[in-house]
């Protein structure tokens, strides 16, 4: 009918739980940040930081991306999802494994519970990867966006395999080098290969759609793909097979060039936008894109090294991860939730009423005022926590943590307002 | 005859101004999404597009068009044909629409 892509849209029962779990996981990660207190100023590989990181990247970032992908894949691949049932089973298994994994890190059960939870996580991610790859197989449409999505999924596979090996190594100790050596590749495969590539692929469709800008030069996105992947591949191959990082500057240059090509594409879209007034959702998105430059700068600082004391460099390494996870990724999700979820729920509730009765608009499903508070609290949290990590100040860590917790509470109020929305119609 | 085809067309376009693109928050007529409108016998045939082929709200917009017209033209058959050729672009927005968007 009508050759509309919505014909392939998945059931709301597949998508909605992902958004709910992600919101709660974000809240929990901010509670743990408050509880971790001055442990946040310790080594970046401390169990509390690792627990928070995994709950944030898996429970918050990856979970919401899975939900959004189930909605978006039919549009980008122009085919229905291979299996909705697999996606539903996957959700529960993934949710359970994240909870167990986060708990095992938090209580420092690295040789006990971590072993089982990491295997469970591996299985659930393999299920997701299989579902997406089989969906892609039946798709005739091959565009740059699907190339980004599929490649990012292979990087997710690399990330989880390395993560599982690190977890197994805690129990069976078979690595020749310290696990921190593998942690570096695990983290970059995850943050750059999985998150960054996936976000660029998805954003190159969504950003022009939300800004309403046309005739953009997709070549930049295409080149960005090759720069980022070659930089990351070079980094991983050198680390894994030669155990060195002599080419680190070249890796950095390649990946950074890719990042700036993407940002330049987003800037073109921003300049040509039809909608001059940005809502909070899009403001958060613009902030996220600006924040993407922060880890690029921090990583070159860490590479140059400057012979600064080790404990300071460790905090800056924490800041590097923080700027990607709680900066770039979190700001994007905090904004994009308002650009996607209200529309998904609105379609579910009002599709059968449109034209017959007066219906609210998608933006009426949440409070824009709360969203504005959320944005300012978030910016405050980010600034204070960054200052805390640089200056080693416990008081600032505490203040920043509570601001981030307040951000998560407000976000969740709006999130539940949207998902619990009751249908309201008036006669025309 | 009072109600000529041209007047009916005008009335239909006026009615369609109540159908909003929920993302851009502008009605589909001023947005320039209606490419063609024909009335023959008891049929209303509309060729329309969407601001982006990936528009997840396309379905709801099409339903909205059909239901809105059915309310006022219950004896007519309403056919909506969604086309992406030529692709929509911002130059199709009416002057009124441009003013509303602050362009």
Domain residue ranges in chain B? 5-88
Q: Are B24 and B31 in contact (CB under 8 A)?
A: yes
**CB < 8 Å to B20, chain A:** 361
Kindly report the CATH class assigned to B5-88. alpha beta
Q: Residue B80 forms beta bridges with which residues?
A: B46
Distance from C-alpha of A348 to C-alpha of A12, rounded to nearest angstrom? 7
Q: Write out chain A's pLDDT in tens, 428 residues.
A: 445 656 678 889 999 999 999 999 999 999 999 999 999 999 999 999 999 999 999 999 999 999 999 998 888 888 899 999 999 999 999 999 999 999 999 999 998 899 999 999 999 999 999 999 999 998 887 888 899 999 999 999 999 999 999 999 999 988 888 888 889 999 999 999 999 999 999 999 889 888 888 878 889 999 999 999 999 999 999 988 888 888 999 999 999 999 999 999 999 999 988 878 889 999 999 999 999 999 999 999 999 977 888 899 999 999 999 999 999 999 999 999 999 999 999 988 998 898 888 889 999 999 999 999 999 999 999 999 999 999 999 999 999 999 999 999 999 999 999 999 999 988 87
Distance between alpha carbon A141 and the CA centroid of its chain, in Å?
25
Chain A contact for B91 (CB, 8 A cutoff):
no
Q: Residue B45 forms beta bridges with which residues?
A: B38, B79
Q: Are A320 and A312 in contact (CB under 8 A)?
A: no
Look at B79 and B22; give whichever has higher pLDDT.
B79
Question: Which of the residues A212, A339, A348 would you substitute to probe the B interface, choosing the one with the greatest number of B C-beta atoms within 10 Å?
Answer: A212
pLDDT tier, B1 (very low <50, low <70, confident <90, very high otherwise) = very low
* Amino acid A66: pLDDT: 97
User: Cis omega before residue B86 (within 30°)?
Assistant: yes
E strands within B32-73?
34-40, 43-48
Residue A259's nearest CA partner among A292, A211, A303 is: A292
Q: With CB atoms and an 8 Å threshold, state whether B59 touches A6.
A: yes
Q: With CB atoms and an 8 Å threshold, state whether A212 touches B24.
A: yes
* Amino acid A1: pLDDT: 42
* Amino acid A16: pLDDT: 96
Give the one of B22, B82, B90 whose C-beta lies nearest to A2's C-beta.
Answer: B82
Closest chain B C-alpha to A78 CA, distance in angstroms: 9
Structure tokens at A38: 């001055």
Distance from C-alpha of A371 to C-alpha of A277, rounded to nearest angstrom? 16
Gap between the terminal Cα atoms of chain B: 41
**CB < 8 Å to A427, chain B:** none
Closest chain B C-alpha to A358 CA, distance in angstroms: 10
């Amino acid at each position: 009918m009508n050759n509309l892509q919505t014909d392939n849209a998945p059931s709301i029962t597949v998508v909605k739980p992902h958004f709910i779990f992600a919101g709660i996981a974000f809240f929990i990660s901010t509670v743990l940040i408050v509880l971790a207190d001055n442990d946040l100023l310790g080594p970046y590989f401390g169990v509390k930081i690792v627990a928070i990181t995994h709950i944030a990247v898996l429970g918050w970032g990856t979970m919401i991306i899975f939900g959004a992908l189930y909605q978006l894949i039919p549009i980008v691949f122009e085919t229905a999802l291979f299996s909705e049932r697999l996606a539903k089973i996957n959700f529960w298994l993934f949710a359970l494994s994240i909870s167990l994994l986060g708990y095992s890190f938090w209580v420092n059960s690295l040789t006990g519970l971590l072993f089982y939870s990491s295997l469970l996580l591996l299985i659930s991610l393999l299920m997701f990867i299989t579902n997406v790859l089989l969906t892609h197989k039946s798709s005739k449409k091959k565009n740059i966006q699907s190339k980004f999505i599929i490649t990012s999924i292979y990087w997710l596979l690399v990330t989880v395999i390395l993560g599982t090996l690190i977890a197994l190594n805690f129990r069976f100790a078979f690595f020749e080098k310290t696990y921190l050596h593998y942690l570096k590749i695990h983290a970059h495969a995850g943050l750059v290969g999985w998150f960054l590539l996936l976000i660029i692929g998805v954003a190159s469709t969504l950003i022009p759609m939300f800004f309403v800008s046309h005739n953009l030069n997709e070549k930049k996105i295409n080149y960005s793909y090759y720069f980022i992947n070659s930089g990351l591949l070079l980094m991983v191959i050198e680390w894994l097979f030669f155990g060195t990082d002599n080419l680190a500057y070249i890796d950095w240059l390649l990946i950074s060039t890719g990042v700036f090509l993407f940002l330049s594409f987003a800037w073109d879209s921003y300049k040509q936008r039809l909608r001059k007034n940005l809502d909070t959702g899009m403001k958060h998105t613009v902030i996220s894109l600006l924040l993407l430059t922060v880890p690029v700068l921090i990583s070159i600082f860490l590479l140059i090294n400057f012979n600064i004391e080790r404990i300071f460099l460790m905090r800056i390494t924490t800041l590097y991860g923080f700027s990607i996870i709680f900066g770039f990724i979190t700001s994007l999700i905090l904004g994009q939730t308002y650009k996607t979820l209200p529309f998904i729920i609105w379609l579910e509730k009002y599709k059968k009423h449109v034209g017959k009765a007066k219906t609210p608009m998608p933006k009426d499903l949440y409070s824009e005022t709360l969203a504005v508070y959320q944005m300012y609290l978030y910016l405050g949290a980010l600034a204070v926590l960054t200052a805390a990590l640089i200056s080693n100040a416990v008081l600032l860590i505490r203040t920043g943590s509570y601001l981030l917790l307040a951000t998560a509470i407000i976000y969740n109020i709006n999130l539940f307002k949207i998902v619990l929305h009751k249908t309201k119609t008036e006669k025309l | 005859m009072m109600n000529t085809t041209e007047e009916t067309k005008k009335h239909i376009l006026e009615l369609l101004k109540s159908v909003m693109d929920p993302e851009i928050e502008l009605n589909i007529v001023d947005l320039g999404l209606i490419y063609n409108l024909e009335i023959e016998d008891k049929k209303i045939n509309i060729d329309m597009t969407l601001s982006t082929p990936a528009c997840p709200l396309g379905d709801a917009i099409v339903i909205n068009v059909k239901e809105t017209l059915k309310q006022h033209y219950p004896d007519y058959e309403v056919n909506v044909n969604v086309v992406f050729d030529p692709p929509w672009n911002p130059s199709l927005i009416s002057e009124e629409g441009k003013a509303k968007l602050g362009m």
